[in-house]
């Protein structure tokens, strides 16, 4: 899989692409991440990429030309274009699964007050990572790339994501523990030390339901 990220701030990705699982996925050729500064496509003599909004209002708006030209240059029949904006459809694990099956994702990061609405015509997906506003699409693009890359076959052990929160039955993860079995008087539940795998599975399922009821009752409606 290839992920092309259109951003005015490629330097923000240094830690992301050079650390841990993402770094290894790149080294193992499971994924390629291409960072494109779309300012390079600007035809403005000063390489401007934004302008004031028609109708007035605060802030600057990303213009069409650099982003349209960039997409035209890099898009192929295998590409899906994602636009990141707080006004998008809210991202979830199901979408991460769907996107992890694609060959080439192009992610457009907005910045400043937003972008000219005509840029939406380029997008196959218009996505928000949650109901809050960030200063730009760079962190959201890392959220998408991270959640997608870990689902690409061979990046992590498949068992690690089969049991993830939000899989299949829309339940949150059950609680997990590691050594020691008693930390400052807080004890690991006896059942986990029992070696009885049927009982452990039942306990985990119960705990997942209980936790979901307490923290995310909205998921149970699904």
List the one residue from 132, 182, 197, 214 that touches ligand ADE (CB under 6 A). Answer: 132
Task: Decide: is 86 part of the binding site for ligand ADE (CB under 6 A).
Answer: yes
Task: Give the number of residues written for the chain.
Answer: 222
The CA-atom distances, in angstroms, between 178 and each of 42, 99, 110, 163, 187 are 53, 33, 41, 17, 11
Shortest distance, position 173 Cβ to ligand ADE, whole Å: 24
Closest CA to 66 of 126, 128, 5, 6: 6
Question: 99 vs 208, which CB is nearer to ligand ADE?
Answer: 99
Other residues' Cβ atoms within 10 Å of the Cβ of residue 53: 14
Q: Does 81 bind ligand ADE (CB under 6 A)?
A: no
How many Å separate Cα 130 from the centre of its chain? 11
CB distance 155 to 149 below 8 Å: yes
Segment contacting ligand ADE by CB under 6 A, of 13-21, 27-35, 136-144, 161-169:
136-144
Asked if residue 84 binds ligand ADE (CB under 6 A), the reply is yes
110 interacts with ligand ADE by CB under 6 A: yes
User: Per rule CB under 6 A, is residue 54 in the interface with ligand ADE?
Assistant: no
Q: In whole angstroms, what is the distance from residue 53 CA to residue 111 CA?
A: 14
Choose, by CB under 6 A, the member of 4, 85, 207, 212 that binds ligand ADE. 85
User: Which stretch, 2-10, 78-86, 150-158, 190-198, contacts ligand ADE (CB under 6 A)?
Assistant: 78-86
> Cβ 10 to ligand ADE, closest distance in Å?
17
Asked if 137 is part of the footprint of ligand ADE (rule: CB under 6 A), the reply reads yes
Question: 61 Cβ partners below 8 Å, 6+ apart?
Answer: 50, 51, 52, 53, 112, 113, 114, 115, 116
Residues of this chain that interact with ligand ADE (CB under 6 A) are 84-86, 110, 128-130, 132-134, 136-137, 140
């Amino acid at each position: 899989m290839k992920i092309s990220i259109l951003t005015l701030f490629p330097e923000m990705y240094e830690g992301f692409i050079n650390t841990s699982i993402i770094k290894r996925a790149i080294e193992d050729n499971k994924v390629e991440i291409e960072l494109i500064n779309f300012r390079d496509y600007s035809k403005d003599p000063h390489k401007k990429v934004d302008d004031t909004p028609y109708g007035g209002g605060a802030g600057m708006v990303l213009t069409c030309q650099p982003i349209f030209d960039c997409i035209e240059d890099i898009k192929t029949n295998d590409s899906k274009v994602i636009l990141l904006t707080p006004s998008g459809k809210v991202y979830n694990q199901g979408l991460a699964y769907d996107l992890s099956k694609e060959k080439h994702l192009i992610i457009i990061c907005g910045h400043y007050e937003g972008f000219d609405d005509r840029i939406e015509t380029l997008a196959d997906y218009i996505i928000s990572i949650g109901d809050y506003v960030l200063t730009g699409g760079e962190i959201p693009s890392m959220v998408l790339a991270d959640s997608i890359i870990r689902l690409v076959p061979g990046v992590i052990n498949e068992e690690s994501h089969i049991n993830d929160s939000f899989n299949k039955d829309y339940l949150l993860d059950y609680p997990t523990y590691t050594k020691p079995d008693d930390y400052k008087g807080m004890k690991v539940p006896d059942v986990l030390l029992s070696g009885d795998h049927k009982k452990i599975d039942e306990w985990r399922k119960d705990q997942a339901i209980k936790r979901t009821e307490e923290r995310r009752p909205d998921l149970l409606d699904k």
